[in-house]
Chain A
Amino acid sequence: GDSVTQMEGPVTLSEEAFLTINCTYTATGYPSLFWYVQYPGEGLQLLLKATKADDKGSNKGFEATYRKETTSFHLEKGSVQVSDSAVYFCALSAGNRDDKIIFGKGTRLHILP
């Protein structure tokens, strides 16, 4: 079945460091890909998405590119801030009638000032 694998955390970085969180997926067909973020004490929020190969999703300085050839959707940010500390989930949706989301296990990111 469809699945998402993302790097395990926690990831600890200093402020202004470059961030990469790796994500790969397994799916039949052409899924939509997502990154969700869960800030401390808050609910899940959609951070960015891409719906087809080579699309780049971006938001709040974060970017991820849908790479069909490597089945990847790595999350990147050039300069992280303390406020980026959160849990990040890579996810996919088959995009059919049954568009439930399949999530990775999440990566906790901790940014030091």
Chain B
Amino acid sequence: GAGVSQSPSNKVTEKGKDVELRCDPISGHTALYWYRQSLGQGLEFLIYFQGNSAPDKSGLPSDRFSAERTGGSVSTLTIQRTQQEDSAVYLCASSLAMGEQYFGPGTRLTVT
């Protein structure tokens, strides 16, 4: 069946611009996670959605980062006023509650 998909696969943007990254989780998965993979920082948790509960935003690095999940399915991660240190691969994962997390292929963001 279809796995987690993310778009775009690559995004190059100029410093100061806003970007939106999209994640389509596996159908029926109630939990959705965003992580960031960058050189020197490894894989960092960003934000977690579980059903209708308030999201866990404890990993967001600054208030320039936000995410929403509409209708309990698709999620969008928005980065405002991008900085060069935002350059990374942004990974999305989904799972059934307390189950194995399945990862998407990621979006590679390059801020010039």
Contact = CB atoms under 8 A, between A and B. Distances in A.
Interface of A: 42-46, 49, 89, 91, 95, 97-106
Contact of B50 (A46, A49, A89, A97): A97
A60 B22 CA distance: 32
A100 B57 CA distance: 11
Contacts of A89: 42-43
A7 B41 CA distance: 15
B48 A46 contact: no
Contacts of B48: 98, 100
B103 A98 contact: no
B65 interface: no
Nearest to A98: B56
Interface in B18-64: 31, 33, 35, 41-45, 48, 50, 56, 59
B91 interface: yes
A46 B42 contact: no
B98 A105 contact: no
B10 to A, nearest CB: 13
B105 A43 contact: yes
